[in-house]
Amino acid sequence: MIKMHELLHGLAIKKHATPGEIAPLIGTSEDEAVSLLDQAAKSGRAIAKDGKYVLTPLAHVALHYDYSRRCAELRDSVAFLAAYENFERINVELKTLITRWQTLDTAGTRLPNDHSNRDYDLRIIDQLGQLNERAEVLLGRFAGVLPRFAYYRTRLLAALEQAESGNIQWVSSPTIESYHTLWFELHEDLLRLLGRLRSEA
Amino acid sequence: MITLNGAYVPDKALVGGKAWSIASMSALGLNVPPAFVITTRACMDYFSAGKIDGPLVQEIESGIAWLEDQTGKRFGGGPRPLLVSVRSGAAVSMPGMMDTVLNLGMTDQTEAQLAAEWNDAAFARDVHRRFLELYAKIVLRVDAVRFEPDAPPAAWREAIAAASGVPVPTDVRHQLLRAISAVFDSWNSARARRYRKHQGISNDLGTAVTVQSMVFGNLDHRSGTGVLFSRNPLTGEKQPFGEYLPRAQGEEIVSGSHTPGPLEVMSENVSDAMQELLRCADSLERFHRDVQDIEFTVERGRLYFLQTRSAKRAPYAAVRIAEAMVKEGHIDSDEALRRVSPDQIRLLLMPWLAEGAAANAPILARGEGASPGIASGVVVLEADTAEARAKSGDHVVLARATTSPNDLHGMIAAKATITERGGTTSHAAVVARALGKPCVVGCGVDALMGLSGKRVTVDGAAGLIYAGELETEIRREETEPLLSQLLAWGIERAPIRVLADAPTASPVLDLDLLANAEKPEAIAEALESLPPGGWVRGAIFSTSDAAVQAALRAGASVIVTYPRLPALLVAVQYQPAKN
């Protein structure tokens, strides 16, 4: 049943996910993800459409109330909480960096970045790489408590390397597993586990 | 070591991008602060010797001697001490390389001499502090050492030594050698190595180091610093545009701590430098065949060029400049089509509120404008509802307290997103900007839930939510003169035909019928069934670069979409992968 909780948790983070997308996120094999999703669909907790799954509204609510019981130990982990506090600080920097990626100052006016200035883009990607090095340290600490967090480390690096290769949509495009998409899912993951509200100052 | 004296422009692989651009400016006859470069070859020697060896020390010495000769200043001594910047420069720019150290050459003694020379002890002290901060952060790699503001520099150096375990050299030559080693070492930083491995770049290329004398724009009333655009980057008018701040250093403009004035101030204070600046801006623009963004400093009446590059520009200016440059004979129409990005055209084709339309419209909520644009629709509170109603053809505006990853499909389906909490860096803002849709954030707790079911108009730039559907205006690519010219060139030059409409009988692969058309995988999958030379249709081709590129790769001969210009630009600018 622990696995089922994790599966539902994974579906809450990644909506319209295939078994292949959910499996690495919750740290299980694709075969097991298929069988868990099948169970979830049969018991009315998830709905399948075109091989992709979403939680039912009721499962959403049930999941929400399940966290405090399932995550009690985690919520007492000093190491995990300390890493989380650090994560929130880096999160502010990440959001500012992504905003600078999307908008830029042109002769005193803020305009959408049309990515015609390669030097500007490279500088931001360089700073994203700097930030990622610090994030990797934190992800190592999260993974020390919850091993599945190693997933984010691998995927964030892959997105960064795509961006560094010149595929710039991998910085913040919301329709692919871009750096920002993954980061945001990571943040959602943490908020749910720890029962925190998103604070968007 | 090569002195960048303007006699020739050395090989970029040997001296790196920064030194190459300094040499190019010098070669054009521009007055650039004197600089020399330690080559990538010296970097490889450093790695095999494991240190800066005797011959390299000698070369650096002769570089410094040349700077001293050019500037009439002395490194580490008076009466006029020389300060330098030290920066990395590989042939290909890459992540992980060392940032620039400024004001190197500062000691207690040179600070006192500069205080006397500048007649400004507080500024000399400030420059000393800035040097120590950068040296600690960049060379010694220690973050956030706290400097007691009123303490003497010796105390700052102690704080750095305590944090890093390494003292800041009080000998300027040691400072310089340490900074140069740090640049070389950054070639082997974890990030740079990872990047090269991933990109298949050899580890044996090495980085160059550029050492350049500092100039100061704050020494007297005939000094200052500024930025000049060779044409107006906001309107595209052929008229130099810029800002000038007398008695200031460049960082003060960047940090926003001082508000610069218009260029007129410059022509009053230093008219010779102004004339020279305008003359050089014109020749730089002719040489680069593009609008230039020029950073400069005037030190005691003498103009120095710090950097020139192609200017960022507003969307309308981009089109206007590209077409003017064709008319003036600088570039051809092919190049003009490469100078305007598809995103710039998309921005120009976005609607705006008609004159007076908002005058009598009640404002239902206000927040921060996070993504520009105007959109109208019915307010819905759930992402799933937004998706369902959009599918049945309704225009909806998604209102949320904040957005989570679960709301993405709703944001894609909605015409605009508005939130109660969050600022311009919040998730909703980031996603809306990436989707190119209007977004207003931070409207206030409980400000939006009551709007459910109401028809509203969202102004994503002004941060306003109006009652009702307000009248908007829009540019048309076929009638707006500047756009129609670009459209004509695009039709002529693009490697694929783009039509606004298809004859009803023609067999077309219609991506508008595809679920998840915003997903690149879904598009790729659908295009697999396209016969060679087939026709494709879809709104996605006017909004997504990747969709047009996928159609080109799939061998489509016609794209049916409207507006056409963004797709045409993507097609013209598309370069197929080599492998």
Total domain count for chain A? 2
The answer to whether position A199 is within a domain reads no
The answer to whether position A201 is within a domain reads no
The top-scoring range by mean pLDDT among A2-6, B253-257, B298-302 is B298-302
Q: How far apart are CA B330 and CA B208, in angstroms?
A: 33
**pLDDT band with cut points at 50, 70 and 90 for residue B579:** very low
Tell whether B4 is within 8 A of chain A (Cβ). Answer: no
Tell whether B412 is within 8 A of chain A (Cβ). Answer: yes
The answer to whether position A200 is within a domain reads no
Per domain, the residue ranges of chain B are 2-213, 224-310, 319-347+476-579, 352-473
Residue B113: alpha-carbon gap to chain centroid: 38
Interface test mutation site (partner A, options B258, B404, B418, max chain A beta carbons within 10 A): B404
Per-position DSSP letters for B417-433, written without gaps between them: EEESS--TTSHHHHHHH
**pLDDT band with cut points at 50, 70 and 90 for residue B248:** confident
Q: How far apart are CA B184 and CA B206, in angstroms?
A: 8
Q: Does A13 share its domain with A39? A: yes
B438: left (phi over 0), alpha (psi -120 to 50) or beta: beta
Q: Does A181 share its domain with A101? A: yes
The reported pTM is 0.85
Q: What is the pLDDT of residues B517-544, one digit of tens each?
A: 777 788 888 999 899 899 999 999 999 8
So what's the pLDDT on residue A112?
A: 84
Taking CB atoms and an 8 Å limit, are A104 and B312 in contact across chains? yes
The answer to whether position A108 is within a domain reads yes
What residues in B contact A201, CB-CB < 8 Å?
A: 422-423
Taking CB atoms and an 8 Å limit, are A188 and B405 in contact across chains? yes
- Residue B197, CA distances (Å) to A48, A171, B203, B320 in order: 41, 20, 8, 42
Q: Does A16 share its domain with A45? A: yes
Taking CB atoms and an 8 Å limit, are A107 and B234 in contact across chains? yes
What residues in B contact A107, CB-CB < 8 Å?
A: 229, 232-234, 241, 312
So what's the pLDDT on residue B146?
A: 81
Burial B54-93 (b: 16+ CB within 10 A, else e): eebeebbeebbebbbebbebbbbbeebbbbbbbbbbbbeb
Answer whether residue B571 shows pLDDT above 80. Answer: yes
Q: Does A92 share its domain with A131? A: yes
Q: How far apart are CA B183 and CA B87, in angstroms?
A: 7
Taking CB atoms and an 8 Å limit, are A95 and B515 in contact across chains? no
Pairing of strands B224-229, A109-112: unpaired
The answer to whether position A101 is within a domain reads yes
Nearest to A111 among B241, B314, B435 (CB): B314
Q: What is the pLDDT of residues A40-98, one digit of tens each?
A: 999 999 999 888 899 998 898 899 888 988 899 999 999 999 999 999 999 999 999 99
Answer whether residue B578 shows pLDDT above 60. Answer: no
Taking CB atoms and an 8 Å limit, are A129 and B309 in contact across chains? no
A186: closest chain B residue by CA: B405
Domain range B352-473, CATH architecture: 3-Layer(bba) Sandwich (3.50)
Handedness of CA B132, B98, B254, A179 (dihedral sign): negative
What is the span of the domain harbouring residue A63?
2-70
**Residue B400: which H helix or E strand, with range?**
strand B396-400
Mean per-residue pLDDT, B192-219: 94
Q: Does A187 share its domain with A95? A: yes
Nearest to A115 among B241, B341, B520 (CB): B341
The answer to whether position A167 is within a domain reads yes
Mean per-residue pLDDT, B350-368: 93
Q: How far apart are CA B249 and CA B226, in angstroms?
A: 9
What residues in B contact A125, CB-CB < 8 Å?
A: 95
Nearest to B425 among A96, A117, A119 (CB): A96
Tokens read off for B250: 């460049």
What ipTM describes this predicted complex?
Answer: 0.87
Mean per-residue pLDDT, B554-563: 95
So what's the pLDDT on residue B505?
A: 65
By percentage, how much of chain A surpasses pLDDT 70?
97
Mean per-residue pLDDT, A20-42: 93
Q: How far apart are CA B383 and CA B397, in angstroms?
A: 10
Please say which residue of A47, A70, A93 terminates a domain.
A70
Taking CB atoms and an 8 Å limit, are A116 and B318 in contact across chains? yes
Mean per-residue pLDDT, B484-489: 97
Tell whether B313 is within 8 A of chain A (Cβ). Answer: yes
Tokens read off for A61: 């609510």
CATH number of the domain encompassing residue A59: 1.10.10.10
Taking CB atoms and an 8 Å limit, are A103 and B405 in contact across chains? no
Q: Which CATH class is domain B2-213?
A: alpha beta
Tell whether B524 is within 8 A of chain A (Cβ). Answer: no
Please say which residue of A52, A70, A88 terminates a domain.
A70
The answer to whether position A52 is within a domain reads yes
**pLDDT band with cut points at 50, 70 and 90 for residue B361:** very high
Tokens read off for A156: 């964030």
Question: Which residues in B151-261 belong to E strands, given as ranges?
Answer: 208-213, 224-229, 241-246
Q: Before B79, cis peptide (omega within 30)?
A: yes
Per-chain mean pLDDT for chain B: 92
Q: How far apart are CA B1 and CA B59, in angstroms?
A: 6
Per-position DSSP letters for B61-112, written without gaps between them: HHHHHHHHHHHT-EET-SSSEE-EEEEEE-SS--TTPPPPEEEET--HHHHH
Chain pair A-B, CB pairs under 8 angstroms: 124
Taking CB atoms and an 8 Å limit, are B411 and A174 in contact across chains? yes
Measured in residues, chain B has a length of: 579
CB burial of residue B304 (10 Å; 0-12, 13-18, 19+): buried
Handedness of CA A171, A176, A182, A187 (dihedral sign): positive
Taking CB atoms and an 8 Å limit, are A102 and B93 in contact across chains? no
- Residue A167 CB partners (closer than 8 Å, separation 6+): none
- DSSP class of residue B378 equals E
A162: closest chain B residue by CA: B198
Mean per-residue pLDDT, A3-14: 92
- B458: three-class secondary structure by DSSP: strand
Please say which residue of A36, A70, A104 terminates a domain.
A70
Q: How far apart are CA B19 and CA B25, in angstroms?
A: 10
So what's the pLDDT on residue B476?
A: 95
Taking CB atoms and an 8 Å limit, are B433 and A102 in contact across chains? yes
Measured in residues, chain A has a length of: 201
A119: closest chain B residue by CA: B93
* Domain B224-310 = CATH 1.10.10.10: no
By percentage, how much of chain B surpasses pLDDT 90?
79
Residue position matching structure tokens 């307000």: B470
What residues in A contact B315, CB-CB < 8 Å?
A: 111, 114
Q: What is the pLDDT of residues B94-118, one digit of tens each?
A: 999 998 999 999 999 999 999 999 9
Q: Are B267 and B261 in contact, with CB atoms under 8 Å apart? A: no
Q: Before B81, cis peptide (omega within 30)?
A: no
So what's the pLDDT on residue B31?
A: 96
Nearest to A112 among B95, B343, B406 (CB): B343
> Among B363, B380, B462, which Cα is nearest to B415's?
B380
A164: closest chain B residue by CA: B195
